[in-house]
Structure 1
Amino acid sequence: MSTCSWAQTVNFHFKHLSAVDGLSNSSVIAMEQDKLGQMWIGTRNGLNKYNGTRFDVFKNEPSDSTTLSNSDILSIKEDSDGYIWVGTYNGLNRYDPVKNKFKRYYQTKSPNSLCNNVVICIKEMDNGEVWLGTANGISVYDKAKEAFRNIPYVEGNISSLPYKNVQRIFVDSNKDVWIGTSRGLAKLIGRNGDRFEFEQFKWENDSQDLFIQDIIETMPNTLGLATKYNGYILFDTDQKNSKHQSILEYPILLMSGYYNVPMMAPFGWAQPMA
């Protein structure tokens, strides 16, 4: 039998960075730290690179196609080649730090283009593919072919995405791919060329959407789901059920590396679609 208690109160000190320091906008939507330790901060009006002492600001300049496609930033991700991918409300961008230029990607009539111009999240896979969650499905960018293959939401098809609005793409320690949407969770269970098969998980109460905004792995075979309407949910990937967790009521002891996450009585279950 073991017990644990708080030995002391830890005081955290924050440094506030604002427009006075050079930040382009006070509404921060996305962040990423690159291999050099620089912070990339996406705001509602510009992309900021912060090196610890000053900001460099990148914005859309309509007359210059090597600038951002849009200044309203939604997502940022550095890939294994050192490029910075930036999703906006109007197009995807790849920043080349050597050339100091952006390459833009838009949805066009081509089947090999981006599936939607609203790019909500970005994830690079182990094979080098860049997966992009958009407001209308997922685009998978093949670096070698410099082309996209798209994963649509198909209404009524339980092997497709739960919904078109993709908020998060996450890979767990078992290399399983999880997709969080505004109407449920999905796990990639099969892939054959351009065909992708998913298992869907939705909130038992169909009148309330399971709007997933973020996904983490709290421990092996357990996902933490940040939702818009249902709080924080712990999802057991083995048993395929979930329990509502009040993180305000139970502390998680991270300082010592020990996770203490007691379960509450079930608030609701996320059931696989039959």
Structure 2
Amino acid sequence: MKKNQYNKDINKMKKTNKANLLIILLFLTSVTNAYNLRQLSNKEGLSNSAILSICQDNERFTWIGTADGLNMYNGAEIHIFKPEINPLGSLSGNLIEEVWEGEHGIIWINTNHGLNRYNKKTKEIESYDEFEGKYFWTKTSRNEIFVINENNRINYYDRHQKKFIPIALPGIIKDDIRRVFIDKSDLLWIITNKSVIHTIKISFESNTPAFSHVNDFIHDCG
């Protein structure tokens, strides 16, 4: 049953991503301010034509998450990451739902079987299988990563320990959350499905961040 549903989801993504069968990647060259247009598809080596996410890092490498693998395009060629390919660790899943850049040289990959952290310098992949399933992530302007995957708790990624530290966050129900983000003043916004917006201040005075409730708002976002 799960396999049939998975196939239906993939077929649906392929239909809704017809425009992505040929991805037009736009690169801005800072020196000449010239635009260089390239077309990429599975004919050029893309691992799958169903595109789920795209991220360009600070080196202007483009990371393309598909329904069957992660692709990195450096302007000349495509490198593919799949669970069975990478020699130093492996992606926890092949369905790449989201890709984003963390601290310098780090790429975070959200797969169908957990969260992954890729180090571009060492080419190592660390997997965090505790985040398999539905969860919400956000980051500060300094690329501090936070993940909510269960009630009354938020997880903070400690770069020194290279692991997520759980921190109590009373009153937060994961299934009620619609969206999570952190603004430039380190204010955590949690928008719920029950017409409430929670705002929580994050303080970084010690090694572990502290949270203090600021306010609740009523919203009418439908």
Give the aligned partner of residue 85 of structure 1: 63
Question: Under a length normalisation based on structure 2, what TM-score does the superposition of the two structures give?
Answer: 0.66
Give the aligned partner of residue 236 of structure 1: 200
Query: Residue 120 of structure 1: which of 92, 97, 102 is its match?
Result: 97
| Offset at residue 192 of structure 1 (A) | 4.9
Query: Residue 190 of structure 1: which of 158, 164, 186 is its match?
Result: 158
| Offset at residue 168 of structure 1 (A) | 5.3
Give the aligned partner of residue 7 of structure 1: none
218 and 125 in structure 1: CA distance in 2 versus 1, 3 angstrom threshold = closer
- Measure, in 1, the Cα distance between the counterparts of 2:152 and 2:42: 34
Aligned runs of 1:51-70 on 2, under 5 Å?
57-61=39-43, 67-70=45-48
| Offset at residue 200 of structure 1 (A) | 6.0
- Measure, in 2, the Cα distance between the counterparts of 1:197 and 1:92: 27
Amino acid at match of 1:75: S
Aligned runs of 1:1-274 on 2, under 5 Å?
27=16, 45-49=21-25, 57-61=39-43, 67-97=45-75, 99=76, 101-108=77-84, 112-153=89-130, 163-165=131-133, 169-173=137-141, 175-180=143-148, 186-188=154-156, 190-199=158-167, 201=169, 209-212=175-178, 214-218=179-183, 220-225=185-190, 229-230=193-194, 233-237=197-201, 238-240=211-213, 243=216, 245-246=218-219
Query: Larger helix proportion, structure 1 or 2?
Result: 2
Amino acid at match of 1:146: K
Q: Secondary structure of the residue that 1:209 maps to in structure 2?
A: helix
- Measure, in 1, the Cα distance between the counterparts of 2:167 and 2:104: 22
200 and 152 in structure 1: CA distance in 2 versus 1, 3 angstrom threshold = farther
Asked whether the equivalents of residues 100 and 109 of structure 2 are also in contact (C-alpha less than 8 Å), the reply is yes
Larger Rg over CA atoms = 1
In structure 2, stretches of 5+ residues that fail to align are: 1-13, 28-34, 202-210
**Which is worse superposed, 74-83 or 108-117?**
108-117
Asked whether the equivalents of residues 188 and 196 of structure 1 are also in contact (C-alpha less than 8 Å), the reply is yes
In structure 1, stretches of 5+ residues that fail to align are: 1-24, 29-41, 154-162, 250-274
How many residue pairs get matched?
192
Question: Under a length normalisation based on structure 1, what TM-score does the superposition of the two structures give?
Answer: 0.55
- Measure, in 1, the Cα distance between the counterparts of 2:123 and 2:91: 11
Identity across the alignment (%): 18
Asked whether the equivalents of residues 115 and 137 of structure 1 are also in contact (C-alpha less than 8 Å), the reply is yes
Amino acid at match of 1:190: D
